Amino acid sequence: MSSPASRSRDLRSADSLVITLIGTGLQADALRAVAEAVADGGWCQQEERWLSLPGAARGCVEWRVCPDDTADADPAAADLRDRLRGQSSALGVDIALQVDDLLRCHRRLIVFDMDSTLVEAEVIDELARAAGSWEQVSGITERAMRGELEFADSFRERLATLRGLSEHHLPTIADGLVISPGAATLVATLKAAGYRSAIVSGGFEFFARRLATALGIDDVFANTLAIVDGRVTGEAQGRIIDGQRKAELLRTIAGSLQLSNEQVIAVGDGANDLPMLGIAGLGVAYRAKPVVRAAADQAITHSGLDSILFLLGIPERHWCTAASASDI
């Protein structure tokens, strides 16, 4: 018999699923449209639970659904996912579909990408702006995040344009980074619930460590920005953290904590995040490129990072208000 962990993401064999709707547009018409899509797919609603606070601008409702016994054939969960993704795009709300099992609400580790995930910018683009190579670098970054370029090669190409940049620019750039909405609340709440946290980034350790300190994140794995005589060398130092390396690090961190991959949440936005999103028990594409949203199991596009707490079934009344984390 397969273990609960091995079944937790297999929608095909699930006889009970959880749909989570999140957004500012959860009015009666929107809920009715989603309910009709569920029914048309051969599923029926068994339970409803509101996770958002009464009167909150951003609402969240959780439905447990099961196959409709009156349907002519067993409904396909993949078809339901496609229907829900269509409704998400049409209504401008986030809709998640997960197996209704024990592990959905009991992960133990969260692993974050940094650039355009925990912070709103791509740090290498900001470094390039200071070095006078922003126009060249930003286009390469965009293509790399869409998966059109191999990450390690594109990273080396962008890094080379930073040669000669003074290290004095780094604190100024760090101070200007904006932490993504909901990040501080997400980390604080999961820390209170006993989670470990880590940044696994294809960006630079200098910025990741400052961010980890600001948010209270436990571990950092990122690339080293090589500096000699106060100037950026423009050369890679050590093994570049690309998509494959991110997946390896997720396994290593989980293993060190005696956790299975199924007990891990991974969050990222770029094509280089897909390997770790794919092996985590809960992989979330956050405000991601279309190719990443399409490939990931779950996506948060219209809400903040704290909406991941809704995917875990944590009611908003239990969320922790984080101390100010505006300084990186």
Q: Quick one: pLDDT at residue 149?
A: 85
Global confidence as pTM: 0.92
Active-site annotation holder among 94, 100, 101, 115:
115
Q: Where are the alpha helices (DSSP H) in the chain?
A: 4-7, 28-40, 77-91, 123-131, 134-145, 151-160, 169-176, 183-192, 205-215, 243-256, 274-279, 290-295, 308-311
Residues of the chain with CATH 3.40.50.1000: 109-318
CATH topology of domain 4-105: Alpha-Beta Plaits (3.30.70)
Q: Quick one: pLDDT at residue 138?
A: 87
Q: Quick one: pLDDT at residue 213?
A: 98
Annotated catalytic residue 153: no
Annotated catalytic residue 115: yes
Active-site annotation holder among 113, 125, 273, 297:
113
- Average of per-residue pLDDT across 1-14: 49
Question: What does the pLDDT look like over 56-68, one tens digit per residue?
Answer: 999 999 999 999 8
CATH of the structural domain 109-318, one choice from 2.60.40.1120, 3.90.226.10, 3.40.120.10, 3.40.50.1000: 3.40.50.1000
Q: What percent of the chain has pLDDT over 70?
A: 92
Residues of the chain with CATH 3.30.70.260: 4-105
Calpha distance 311→149 (Å, rounded): 32
